[in-house]
Amino acid sequence: MPKIHFLEFGGREHLIDVPCGTSVMQAAVENNVPGIDGDCGGVCACATCHVYVDPAWLAKTGERTISEDELLNFASTAQENSRLACQIRMDDAMDGLRVRLPESQH
Amino acid sequence: MSTLVVDRVQHEAQAVPLDRIDVSDPRRFQDDTVWPYFERLRKEDPVHYCRDGMFGPYWSITKYRDIMAVDTNHKVFSSEAGGIIIVDRNVGERFPNFIAMDPPKHDEQRKTVSPIVAPANLANLEGLIRSRVCTILDGLPRQETFNWVDKVSIELTTQMLATLFDFPFEDRRLLTYWSDVATTFPQAGQPIDTWEKRDAILAECLAYFTRLWNERINRAPGSDLISMLAHSPSTRNMQPREFLGNLILLIVGGNDTTRNSITGGLWFMDQNPDQLQKLRDNAALIPGAVSEIIRYQTPLAHMRRTALEDTMVAGKRIREGDKVVMWYISGNRDDEVIDNPNSFIVDRKNPRQHLSFGFGIHRCVGNRLAEMQLRILWEEILRRGLNVQVVGEPVRVPSNFVHGYSSLPVRIAA
């Protein structure tokens, strides 16, 4: 089962086993990783599962979708490597993925 | 409401022919009898066409997932073509503002004001809000009946708004007044019975704010909303109507919504003493309780869109130009998504899953500030062990848009 490293804003790290096909947002919420809200339930409608993808993993996690880009456009803390975690679905190639969480979700 | 009245309303909602149902009638919101109509629509005709509505023909979207689909499809469902409320006004009579714009202009203007509610600024505001909450609560009358709406809900939200605008503090109740006027659709027999009267009062609001704008545009950029608007390239050349439109948006958005959730919260706790006891026993439940209050109240009952092309929603063909009303207040009671939706449960699972802030690019920009104000208020009420008793029925406002209260009589024992 692939693993994700979540790094909280305060620095605490969580290493989570995630079944393939699960979104990074679901993985965080189901394993009580604090700092990801996922208010819309994972349909790319709210931007409360904002994460920074470790630059080394950007090629594997792919590009933002158009609606994801629109929402991130309004997040004051968004950076080049910002993604919505509900739009990244885990597979074996992403084993070891590292994502960092922003100060808060908005 | 007495059981008899509830039974009668239930019966009427079942008896009326489906195509005659018009959930937009403001009186049903004022007397709180709209619920069985929405319940019937969700069950029998979730995407419902009303030909002879009080505000013209319109579609009602009543279920959670259909609302989500419309709200996130801004390319087909425009906020700009017909505005965001069910009432129609001609283009020339409207006050343009960014919630009633489509991209790209919406995006630029929203980004101008959104830093005021960014995480760093919210952290700065927390201490100020707490000290104000403490002052308000400690100054409340004891052993006498007073209106919670006026002394707490309005006072707290209006103080906040004055701070965000850096508005003269002693004049802050003008903000409340303008907010109420802006959300009033003229109705016969009411103090404001024509659009002209309403617009004349709003012109006074514009004149006041224009003075503030002129002061601030000649100063270095500050951190208040007026200064932000005056100095940003995307808003500094706004015409007066557009300036007024955005002011109204910020005043209503930062005022009515939280105000009515503050009042609603107190009312729901009074009606559900077991839920209040859970909070008293465990203050860690407060953030979830705040989300539940916001869901249960749904302080804005609807948002309206206009279809830019023929499209399908849940099997119904919606035509280009049709008015489409997303009833957040109904979607928040959809049992396909929310368990036991008619119950107020402070420790429910997934309390953040509700429609009150909308979804997609127009999602409420101030949601975190609203939650923070409610959280601090309940923290301080509980910390004091304040026992606020509701001593009469709430009075609701006659609006299908602002779902709120004009009064809630309460009494604090000793």
User: Residues B295-338: pLDDT tens digits?
Assistant: 999 999 999 999 999 999 999 999 999 999 999 999 999 999 99
Check whether B188 has a pLDDT greater than 90: no
SS3 B138: helix
What distance in Å separates the CA atoms of residue B71 and residue A43, rounded to the nearest whole number?
12
Task: Check residue A57 and give its pLDDT.
Answer: 96
- The number of C-beta contacts closer than 8 angstroms across A and B is 55
Confidence (pLDDT) at A106: 82
Q: pLDDT per residue over B210-239, tens digit each? A: 999 999 999 999 989 999 999 999 999 999
Residue of B nearest to A103 (CA): B119
| Predicted pLDDT of residue B64 | 98
Distance CA B343, CA B320 (A): 38
Q: Which of B294, B303, B352, B362 should be substituted to probe chain A, the one whose Cβ sees the most A Cβ atoms within 10 Å?
A: B352
- At a CB cut-off of 8 Å and minimum separation 6, what does A97 contact? A2, A3, A4, A5, A24, A53, A54, A57, A60, A61, A88, A90
Facing residues of B342 across strands?
none
DSSP labels, B320-388: TT-EEEEEHHHHTT-TTTSSSTTS--TT-SSTT--STT--STTS-TTHHHHHHHHHHHHHHHHHTT--E
Under an 8 A CB cutoff, do A45 and B360 touch?
yes
pTM, whole model, 2 decimals?
Answer: 0.95
The domain A3-100: what is its CATH number? 3.10.20.30
Total number of domains constituting chain B: 1
Q: Which of A43, A67, A104 sits opposite B68 (nearest CB)?
A: A43
The pLDDT, as a whole number, for residue B413 is 86
Identify the contact set of chain B against chain A, taking CB-CB distances under 8 A: 68, 71-72, 103, 107, 110-111, 114-115, 117-120, 122, 350, 352-353, 357, 359-361, 363, 365, 368
Cis omega (within 30 of 0) on the bond before B104? Answer: yes
The rounded distance, in Å, linking the Cα atoms of A6 and B164 is: 35
What's the sign of the alpha-carbon dihedral A73, A74, A76, A81? negative
Cβ B72–A39 below 8 Å, yes or no? no
B353/A74 Cβ within 8 A: no
Residue B76: domain span:
3-412
For B119-142, letters b (16+ CB in 10 Å) and e give beebeebeeebbebbeebbeeeee
Residue B97 pLDDT grade (very low, low, confident, very high; cuts 50, 70, 90): very high
Mean pLDDT of all residues belonging to chain B: 95
Instruction: State the CATH number of the domain containing residue B316.
Output: 1.10.630.10
What confidence tens digit (pLDDT) does each residue in B133-151 have?
Answer: 999 999 999 999 999 999 9
Contact at CB, A76 and B110, closer than 8 angstroms: no
The pairs formed by B378-387 with CB atoms below 8 angstroms and a separation of 24 or more are B378/B265, B378/B279, B378/B286, B378/B289, B378/B290, B379/B283, B379/B286, B380/B130, B380/B133, B380/B134, B380/B137, B381/B137, B382/B279, B382/B280, B382/B283, B382/B286, B383/B283, B384/B137, B385/B280, B386/B137, B386/B412, B387/B412, B387/B413
